[in-house]
Amino acid sequence: MNEKILSFLGLARRAGRLSLGFDPAVDAMIHGRSRLLLLCNDLSERSRNKILKIVERTKTETISLNISMNEVGMAIGKTSGIISVDDEGFAKKLVMLCNDMTGGN
């Protein structure tokens, strides 16, 4: 299932619907563009804590992926542990794919 998520992230990247990295993701959240925040499993604890403080303030939906930054880099062409999905349609599909992966609803 990781392959489907990574493939879909690649599509979203090509469509220009992702903000990659801490600062661009924070900007997208603060300005209301972010529809979903994805965090890689090997993101540093310090970065995770900093971004989650902003998530609390902005109420952005967040998913911790069981995918490494390296895998993301291979799929989208840029290594990043923090990914903001800035499109409602892409965000909904990624939530669905992540739920399918974890068996959630």
Residues 6+ apart with CB under 8 A from 6: 67, 71, 72, 74, 75, 76
Average pLDDT, the chain: 93
pTM of the predicted structure, to 2 decimals = 0.93
Q: Are 86 and 28 in contact (CB under 8 A)?
A: yes
State percent of the chain over pLDDT 90. Answer: 90
Beta strands at 36-39 and 62-64: parallel, antiparallel or unpaired: parallel
